[in-house]
């Protein structure tokens, strides 16, 4: 009688191993971009929430200043003995009268100009007069531009803050490598309106509104001209803002 002996397999063949590697590669190619995209969307949602907090601080400021929102052109808008620009004076006003002393709210982790280092407070805690900005903040480029000199009676469609890098054409700058670079490498950004809502746009595309109800893609035209209304930002090369304020052109 012949006895049959069966040998168990203890290893993969080369073809099987290559097949498994190929499957893992395909799954990685599918999942890794998806995970990155989910993180990007989550961070943009966090950035929108930060803009809302900036808006709340501006409204608290207005409650103490006869319905006037932060205005760096005011005589008492100093941010220390040598403020670098009125943009930072705006941040000081929000910190003192709006209760917004958290510097990280002005930065996006998606911003190519953000180095990832932890951010401290807006104001220097060593200055008990609360008039000096933190040196750590002054060494950075915030991801947010701000509109000053508004009043609560201005239209709710008036922009109050927006993502850095927006140009007059309604697109965000994706080609610059300096302060004018958009905060999102692939373009797009948020706009916080005086009415309190935040909207994300890949491109503005005439979705803004002038005070007369006309559509426009130029943010300058969506803000009433006159008074102390100015647009503040460190990306002056894009033509919408400047560190010491650019006047709007809306009717």
Spatial distance between the Cα atoms of 95 and 121, rounded to a whole number of angstroms? 9
Residues 79-108 have a mean pLDDT of 87
> Residue 200: pLDDT above 70?
yes
| % the chain with pLDDT above 70 | 89
Residue 233 CB contacts under 8 Å (≥ 6 apart), including other chains: 87, 145, 146, 164, 240, 241, 242, 243
pLDDT of residue 78: 46
pLDDT higher than threshold 70 for residue 158: yes
pLDDT above 60 for 1: no
Residue 21 has pLDDT above 90, yes or no: no
Q: pLDDT digit string (tens) for 105-128?
A: 999 999 999 998 888 899 998 888
Average pLDDT over residues 127-137: 87
- Which two three-digit tokens encode residue 5? 């002996």
List phi, psi (to 5°) of 56.
-60, -40
Give the Cα separation of 141 and 156 in Å (integer).
Answer: 28
Confidence band (pLDDT; 50, 70, 90) for 30? confident
Average pLDDT over residues 27-37: 66
Angle at 171 between CA 169 and CA 172, to 5 degrees: 130
Spatial distance between the Cα atoms of 220 and 251, rounded to a whole number of angstroms = 10
pTM: 0.84
Statement: residue 80 has pLDDT above 80: no
């Amino acid at each position: 009688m012949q006895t049959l002996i069966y040998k168990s397999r203890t290893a993969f063949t080369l073809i099987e191993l290559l097949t498994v590697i190929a499957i893992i590669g395909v799954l990685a190619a599918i999942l890794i971009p998806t995970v990155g995209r989910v993180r990007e969307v989550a961070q943009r949602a966090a950035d929108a929430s930060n803009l809302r907090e900036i808006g709340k601080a501006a409204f608290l400021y207005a409650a103490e200043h006869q319905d006037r929102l932060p205005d760096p052109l005011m005589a008492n808008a100093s941010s220390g003995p040598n403020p670098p620009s009125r943009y930072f004076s705006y941040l000081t006003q929000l910190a003192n009268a709006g209760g917004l002393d958290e510097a990280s709210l002005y930065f996006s982790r998606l911003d190519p100009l953000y180095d990832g280092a932890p951010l401290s407070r807006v104001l220097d805690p060593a200055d008990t007069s609360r008039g000096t900005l933190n040196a750590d903040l002054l060494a950075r480029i915030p991801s947010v531009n701000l509109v000053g000199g508004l009043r609560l009676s201005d239209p709710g469609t008036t922009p109050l803050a927006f993502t850095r890098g927006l140009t007059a054409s309604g697109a965000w700058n994706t080609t610059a490598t300096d302060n004018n670079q958009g905060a999102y490498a692939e373009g797009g950004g948020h706009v916080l309106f005086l009415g309190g809502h935040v909207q994300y746009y890949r491109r503005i595309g005439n979705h803004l509104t002038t005070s007369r109800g006309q559509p426009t893609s130029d943010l300058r035209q969506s803000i009433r001209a006159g008074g102390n209304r100015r647009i503040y930002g460190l990306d002056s090369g894009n033509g919408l803002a400047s560190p010491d304020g650019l006047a709007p052109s809306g009717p």
